[in-house]
Amino acid sequence: MFNKILIANRGEIAVRIIRACKELGVSTVAVYSDADRRSLHVALADEAYHIGGSAPGESYLVIDKILDVAKKSGAEAIHPGFGFLSENEEFAKRCEKAKIVFIGPSAKAIRLMGDKITARKIAHEAKVPLVPGSEGAVSDVEASVVVDEIGYPVMIKASAGGGGKGMRLVREKGEFESALRMARSEAGSAFGDDSVFVEKFVEQPRHIEIQIIADSYGNVIHLFERECSIQRRHQKVIEEAPSSAISDRTRKKMGAVAVKIAKAVDYQGAGTVEFIMDQKQNFFFLEMNTRVQVEHPVTEMITGFDIVKWMIRIADGEKLPFKQSQIEMKGHAVECRVYAEDPETNFMPSPGTIDYLRVPSGPGIRDDSSIYSGCEITPHYDPMLSKLVVWADTREAAIEKMASALREYIVIGLKTNIGFLLRVMGEEEFKEGKIDTGYIERHPELLKPGDIDIEPVLIAAALAMNNADSVESGEQRPASNWKLYGRKLGLSGGQVL
């Protein structure tokens, strides 16, 4: 096993990797920007090195700075986490040149699957089902021709990158020209590449993905699927495993296709093959993410498989000791991404300082985060605060447990989406599994504050911690005033019992 690993990331994923390393007996090296001097991942790592300014382009995206720290600290390997340089072909190449192990797939695999057009070609050659559309990047004229052939609605997509950037849904011909122009502009700004392709838009699609793990000896297994259909701005908000929408037959077919794609690029490590599925369980290849996913905990909860540890073990040369037939799933897991954002203003980020934090706990509850009372959430990075994950025997029980956990989750000092998440857990279509990627748009009522029950003892603790009023020590407040104090603290939701 490696003696020392550098984590080229920040936030909750850096904390997650550090904890996995500690359990494996591996020393850890953190890197941090100006804004992250007091971050939890810096405190937990065995060593920490400053690498520049708060902007990612001055720190976490600078390959030379990260490799310099790796050499200086004597780190034998680098785990990139997700985002930043995790799917950067050049970074993987530079690590190899520096004789530092990149904990992930080869630079070639990153290149082949990182470009959506190339990935579609590989999927086509492997006879994997694809959404009808252009075979590659298209000019404006070619795009118009393809769209006339496949018909509306269509989706314009950036050929590089992801995360909803450079994507536009077009339902009518009159909207196409301006949507194409905006998609190119956004893609060029986000990825330095304004090439796009077009494909048929699947109505009421569900976003289903398959987790795969591959070693360097040609062994590839899948860890079943995740349902990721609850999205805002094409970005996932709530995930669960398994999906309530697919049969065992479809699950087996999807898993086999995901393994086939991984083998086609000689994949190594953890990866995710993403599909779009219609209401009749017809599924089509979307893309492959060549890194650990944000939502990997739901898969870990239903399989007992530690994905991050196995990424490290595989990079160290270990062989997978499991066969596909030995992998089983048990129960149901749900993950909610807790963001510092305001659902009422189109999920605008809400940076600030966390004055008080109370995290839920109990059997089957997991909170992956890097936040604490007093920490600052800056505007420089993604506003995700944590990933709250629950497990139970059934989907119904998991939803109930998640609702209970969200009621215990208190973040004071900035706005969060906790109230929104709680309202989703209580919405009938969600509880019945009638979801797709347009779910949030269909339910604008969920964006407005409703009745949220929060335990009085937690409100009392928050009041005490924040000196919210001038109550003398020992004085008790009547229950009828909890609502007033909840509003005073800026809690979303109308009713506080």
Q: Which residues participate in catalysis according to the annotation?
A: 291
**116-125 and 107-114 helices cross at what angle (nearest 10)?**
90
What HEC string does 5-36 produce? EEECCCHHHHHHHHHHHHHHCCEEEEEEEHHH
Provide the residue type at 328 as one letter.
E
| Residues in contact with 108: Cβ distance below 8 Å, sequence separation at least 6, in sequence order | 265, 266
What tokens appear for 452 in the block? 């949220």
Q: Is 136 exposed, middle or buried (0-12, 13-18, 19+ CB in 10 A)?
A: middle
Q: Which helix (H) or strand (E) holds 101?
A: strand 101-102
Burial class of residue 236 in the structure, from the number of CB atoms within 10 Å of its CB (0-12 exposed, 13-18 middle, 19+ buried): buried
Residue pair 4/28 in contact (Cβ under 8 Å)? The answer is yes
CA angle, 228 as apex, 153 and 291 as ends, to 5°? 105
Q: Which two tokens stand for residue 109?
A: 């695999």
Q: In this structure, what DSSP letter does residue 201 have?
A: P
CA separation for the pair 385, 317 (Å, rounded): 34
Q: Three-class SS of residue 220?
A: strand
Contact between residue 277 and residue 245 where contact means Cβ atoms under 8 Å apart: yes
